[in-house]
Amino acid sequence: MDRPELPLPQLHAFVVLAEELHFGRAAARLGIAQPPLSQQIRRLEQKVGYALFEREPGRVTLTPAGHALLPAARQALAGLADGLTAARAAGSGRSGRLRIGFAASLALTVLPGLLRDFRQRFPDADLDIHEMTTAPQLDALRARTIDIGLLREPPADESELGFRTVFSEPFVAVLPAAHPRAGQRVVPLAELTGEPFVLLPRAVGPQLYDRITGLCEEAGFTPRISQHAVEWQTVCALVETGLGVSLAPASIRRIRLKGVAFRRIDPGTARTRVAVAWRRNDRSPLVARLLTTIDQQARHRS
């Protein structure tokens, strides 16, 4: 047997009349005349199939059917109110779910402050955070499994995705503490000629990999890659064991390892770019809110 659909305006009229138990007062509270109220109640009773009110001169009472319907009617109206509130919050970007990918090294710099500021401004938003290197972030954005990416060295030729620079930072040389150059405050890149290098695989961040190898080639040598590691912490750990040297973003110095020395390089103008990425056709208000928060943080840093 099909369940009858009960229009919400009729349920609203029913609940108000059940609370007032007086057609005149209920009509006044609803802002309508008494005849339209009576019509609403009659239509609702026709859909239910039973009388909801006992009507006597000067007195209105609920029937057993009316008593049974009242809790469900109130619940339906409350659910609608909650749904409208949630819809307005999501539409304005105050709530909803935002999936964010981030490069692990950014947990040492921009990510904590960004998430803290965003959660303070939009406490009803649910953040779903995923640690990912640059190439997987780009794939996830295109596949719509994340909404925002925080990555290093974004590609230059990308039509589907938008990028905005968050900040840039210099590179540093990562050396074993016992390395002959570890005692220098500044290490000219040319002095690392012939050294074995530990780097992230090109597949996880092609632009960053090419940026690092390009700096070496500008200094007159092609780096000899002896080991690969997916995370910068692992790169530093392998350097500590003496397996090679590396070039890394300056924020990696926050990884504290006793057997590793971080030194400025020459040329000191070499920098790596951190960017936020998103789908150009994404109309999510929550994405726009996060981009605004990132812009505000960038202005404070400048």
The domains of the chain, with CATH numbers, are 8-92 (1.10.10.10), 96-165+273-301 (3.40.190.10), 167-272 (3.40.190.290)
What does the pLDDT look like over 26-67, one tens digit per residue? Answer: 888 888 888 888 888 888 888 888 898 988 887 889 898 889
Distance CA 37, CA 45 (A): 12
Query: What integer is the mean pLDDT of 127-134?
Result: 91
Predicted confidence at residue 286, as pLDDT, reads 86
Q: Mean of the per-residue pLDDT values for the chain?
A: 87
pTM flag (> 0.75): no
Distance CA 42, CA 45 (A): 5
Structure-token pair, residue 26: 């209920």
Please determine, for residue 1, whether its predicted confidence score (pLDDT) is greater than 50.
no
Please determine, for residue 5, whether its predicted confidence score (pLDDT) is greater than 70.
no
Contact 255, 233 (CB under 8 A): yes
What does the pLDDT look like over 207-230, one tens digit per residue? Answer: 999 999 999 999 999 999 999 999
Query: What integer is the mean pLDDT of 149-160?
Result: 88
